[in-house]
């Protein structure tokens, strides 16, 4: 549990500490974190974007293998989404009645997002914390075809994982980046999500005019 809290609060230093303490088992720990964030409804707060970027930064110092990381992260992201989707398919309306205000709020936002964007939501949600945890679940409830869902999930993972991991890998050796890690990640995150937010707002305005 302590390791999990450290990863959330101070991701890059936590990964370095994991390598010292657990060696190659670190790969499995990182795999589980990405799997849990994308596949288990109770872990929307895990730092998916930050973990990918930080792991890339650490890999730039040759402490981890970037190619193995990307492969494992891709597998974790897709497997997590499939498990999440299956849970939504099996649970159906019973889970919608779950009496928890915060859970219902997240679920409602994910449902609206999915209804507006259809299959594209599975890809787009990869880049939005919380949404990438709940959109797969909603897709399962909505009865989306499994083969179609897996295809969108793989496309989303193939964009999300290399983007953040490789940027961390290539920027990690720059001293200014090391000294301003938090600022760099924030700018990167905003650069990725702002275009999607703008498109979302434009479509909302267009629908209201119709």
Of 100 and 170, more confident: 170
Top-confidence residue, 63 or 98: 63
- If 0-12 CB within 10 Å is exposed, 13-18 middle and 19+ buried, where does residue 125 land? buried
The residues spanned by each domain of the chain are: 2-209
- How much is the pLDDT for 68? 96
Q: How many CB atoms lie within 10 A of CB 28?
A: 12
Model confidence over 24-55: pLDDT tens digits? 999 999 999 999 999 998 888 888 888 898 89
Q: Residue 69's pLDDT band (boundaries 50, 70, 90)?
A: very high
| Mean pLDDT of all residues in 94-118 | 65
> Measured between alpha carbons, how far is 9 from 161 in angstroms, rounded to an integer?
21
- Highest average pLDDT, of 6-10, 26-30, 58-62, 96-100, comes from 26-30
Q: How far is CA 56 from CA 25, 96, 125, 167, 194, in A?
A: 17, 37, 21, 7, 23
pLDDT tens digit sequence for 2-16: 555 555 556 777 888
Q: Tell me: pLDDT of 70 over 70.
A: yes
Which of 146, 161, 130, 207 is CA-nearest to residue 53? 161
Q: Is pLDDT at 116 greater than 80 in this prediction?
A: no
Per-residue confidence (pLDDT) for residue 80, from 0 to 100: 95
Lowest model confidence (mean pLDDT) among 143-152, 167-176, 193-202: 193-202
């Amino acid at each position: 549990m302590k390791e999990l809290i450290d990863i959330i609060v101070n991701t890059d230093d936590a990964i370095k500490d994991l390598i010292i303490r657990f060696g190659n088992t670190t790969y499995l720990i990182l795999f589980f974190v990405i799997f849990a964030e994308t596949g288990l409804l109770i872990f929307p707060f895990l730092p998916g974007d930050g973990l990918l970027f930080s792991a890339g930064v650490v890999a730039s110092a040759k402490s981890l293998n970037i190619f193995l990381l990307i492969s494992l992260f891709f597998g974790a992201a897709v497997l997590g989404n499939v498990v999440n989707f299956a849970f939504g398919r099996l649970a159906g309306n019973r889970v919608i009645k779950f009496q928890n205000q915060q859970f219902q709020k997240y679920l409602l936002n994910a449902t609206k997002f999915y209804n507006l964007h259809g299959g594209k939501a599975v890809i787009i949600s990869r880049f939005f914390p919380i949404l990438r945890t709940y959109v797969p679940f909603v897709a399962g409830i909505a009865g989306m075809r499994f083969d179609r869902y897996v295809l969108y999930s793989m496309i989303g993972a193939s964009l999300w994982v290399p983007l953040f991991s490789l940027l961390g890998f290539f920027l990690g050796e720059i001293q200014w980046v090391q000294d301003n890690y938090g600022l760099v990640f924030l700018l990167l995150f905003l650069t990725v999500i702002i275009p999607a937010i703008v498109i979302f707002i434009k479509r909302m305005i267009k629908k209201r005019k119709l």
